[in-house]
Structure 1
Amino acid sequence: MHDRGTTFFIDLESAVWDALVRGDADADRALLSEDFIGVFPTGFANRADHTDDLADGPSIASYAITDARLIDVSADAALLCYRAEYRQPSKSTAEVMFISSLWVQREGRWWNTFSQDTPAASTSA
């Protein structure tokens, strides 16, 4: 297995979120592999779909990553699972997703290759 811990992968994941907060498509693209696939409540997305969301500026105003868990998949892969509370710039209330994000090491660097975002169940009746 690789010698990286949960904090290392939270830092990588935070770099993706930070790019969304800044509206920085280049930084977002630099973290996602060319074969990235996202499974989102709206459907499938590739790397271009993910970065294109930033064409009009930031897609996230703020975020917090909590309850992180790391699954060592192999020496070159890890699955980071966590709870994300975030707010979009156009909304006044936060939303919650449970996210699984696969990071794979290729040619000496780590790439986000897969993400699945699952909305948290509503607790209000």
Structure 2
Amino acid sequence: MEKKANLQETLLALETQVWNALVTGDGDADGALLSEDFIGVYPDGFAGKDAHTGQLDSGATVAEYRLSNVQVRATGADSGLLIYRADYLRVGKSDWEVMLVSSLWQKRSGGWVNSFSQDTPLTGEGVP
């Protein structure tokens, strides 16, 4: 198992590649980082790999982003959960948005892939 600092560095670098794909509109780069069984849990519902990469069919979706408050939890010998805050500006918008993100990365035969992600909008509302 990678040491916690190394695991965080590795997973953050991979997650940054996903965000860079959203900025450049590179669906192939995005898809290379997602497992075939990827599932995302988003404010508008569930999405598989095709939906995640498909959002880039018309080009970039994110103009700028900043990742902060990064944490990592080792979930096994070859997996880890990256948890962070994402401040981002969508293409064509003027207001920044904030999501709290949890991404599960697994080391499989082809290398590290993202198999699960949950994005929670930061609304400031308490838990019911």
RMSD: 1.2
The AA in structure 1 aligned to 2:123 is A
Provide, for residues 61-100 of structure 1, a one-character-per-residue CA deviation record: whole Å limited to 9, x for no partner. Answer: 0111100000000111100000000000121011000000
Residue 106, structure 1, aligned to residue 108, structure 2: yes
Check whether the contact 2:7–2:80 (CA below 8 A) recurs between aligned residues.
Answer: no
What is the TM-score when the length of structure 1 is the normalising length?
A: 0.94
Provide, for residues 94-115 of structure 1, a one-character-per-residue CA deviation record: whole Å limited to 9, x for no partner. Answer: 1000000000000150000000
* Counterpart in the other structure of 1:43: 45
Runs of 4+ in 1 over 3 A off after TM superposition: none
Is the partner of 2:62 in helix, strand or coil? coil
Is the partner of 1:80 in helix, strand or coil? strand
Q: 1:93 aligns with which of 95, 120, 123?
A: 95
- State the alpha-carbon separation in 2 of the partners of residues 5 and 106 from structure 1: 15
Residue 75, structure 1, aligned to residue 77, structure 2: yes
- State the alpha-carbon separation in 1 of the partners of residues 49 and 92 from structure 2: 23
- State the alpha-carbon separation in 1 of the partners of residues 116 and 93 from structure 2: 26
Unaligned runs of 5+ residues in structure 2 are none
* Counterpart in the other structure of 2:9: 7
Give the Å deviation of 1:5. 2.5
- State the alpha-carbon separation in 1 of the partners of residues 61 and 91 from structure 2: 7
Check whether the contact 1:78–1:103 (CA below 8 A) recurs between aligned residues.
Answer: yes
Give the number of equivalent residue pairs: 123
What is the TM-score when the length of structure 2 is the normalising length?
A: 0.92
- State the alpha-carbon separation in 2 of the partners of residues 43 and 29 from structure 1: 19
Q: 1:57 aligns with which of 56, 59, 68?
A: 59
- State the alpha-carbon separation in 2 of the partners of residues 30 and 110 from structure 1: 10
